[in-house]
């Protein structure tokens, strides 16, 4: 269960890695992990800092997950950021070993926002397992950049016979959507499909996209991949 959870947390970063874009390395050896850490440290500038603890070193069933991304600090200065985000918990204070074996919920009443709850219900109706957002917040697993994380939303995961799917949906404004989803997940690359009907703007393909609904103020990251081919 924990292995699945960490795959979901890395979300599109794993998919990005499978496409050959620098992201998160999955099932790496200890030597490769140390090399990645060293290379990341050497390329870090004063404007960037190495990725923190939202993707902690983790080992179970002879598998390791190491996240080697780095981001520029926002310092809470983006437009409206402090209305939608909170500081991530200090990873040094989190006991990852006691992460619940079953972090999912069946009672969506724990989600206070009506729009978020209705969206979570629609995914639950499709068979998605919805993570308890309180646990995501406690462990720093809510979407963000490891400095700040979104405070109101959910993540979900669907296991099919050959396809794995994940969804992350959080309240935000369009500025935060552009920074934390469009830019961070490489959706601003030339040639990326973009649709905009005035209410919802979407970047990407059906199996990997981000979108923002201007009426509900919900930004989403949705990914899917062929599980028979792996994710790394």
112-127 per-position pLDDT tens digit: 999 999 999 999 999 9
How many domains, the chain?
Answer: 1
Long-range CB pairs of 158-164 (<8 Å, 24+ gap) are 158/123, 158/126, 158/127, 158/128, 158/129, 159/4, 159/227, 160/227, 162/226, 162/227, 162/228, 163/224, 163/225, 163/226, 163/227, 164/7, 164/224, 164/225, 164/227, 164/231
Q: What pLDDT does 230 receive?
A: 56
Domain that holds residue 18: 2-229
Q: What pLDDT does 69 receive?
A: 43
Q: What pLDDT does 74 receive?
A: 84
State the 10-residue block means of pLDDT for the chain, 232 residues long.
44 39 36 51 45 43 36 82 95 92 94 97 97 96 93 95 95 97 94 97 96 98 84 46
């Amino acid at each position: 269960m924990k292995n699945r959870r960490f795959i979901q947390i890395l979300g599109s970063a794993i998919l990005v890695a499978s496409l050959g874009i620098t992201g998160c390395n999955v099932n790496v050896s200890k030597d490769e992990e140390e090399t990645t850490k060293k290379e990341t440290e050497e390329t870090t500038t004063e404007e960037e800092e190495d990725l923190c603890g939202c993707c902690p070193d983790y080992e179970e069933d002879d598998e390791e997950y190491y996240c080697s991304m780095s981001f520029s600090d926002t310092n809470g200065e983006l437009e409206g950021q402090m209305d939608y985000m909170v500081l991530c918990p200090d990873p040094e204070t989190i006991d990852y070993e006691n992460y619940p074996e079953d972090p999912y919920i069946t009672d969506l009443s724990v989600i206070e926002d009506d729009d978020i709850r209705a969206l979570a219900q629609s995914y639950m109706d499709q068979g998605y397992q919805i993570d308890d957002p309180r646990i995501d917040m406690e462990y720093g697993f809510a979407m963000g950049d490891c400095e700040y994380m979104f405070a109101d939303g959910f993540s979900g995961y669907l296991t099919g016979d050959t396809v794995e799917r994940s969804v992350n949906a959080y309240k935000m404004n369009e500025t935060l959507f552009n920074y934390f989803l469009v830019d961070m997940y490489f959706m601003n690359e030339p040639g990326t499909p973009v649709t905009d009907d005035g209410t919802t703007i979407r970047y990407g393909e059906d199996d990997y996209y981000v979108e923002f609904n201007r009426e509900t103020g919900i930004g989403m990251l949705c990914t899917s991949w062929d599980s028979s081919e792996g994710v790394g």
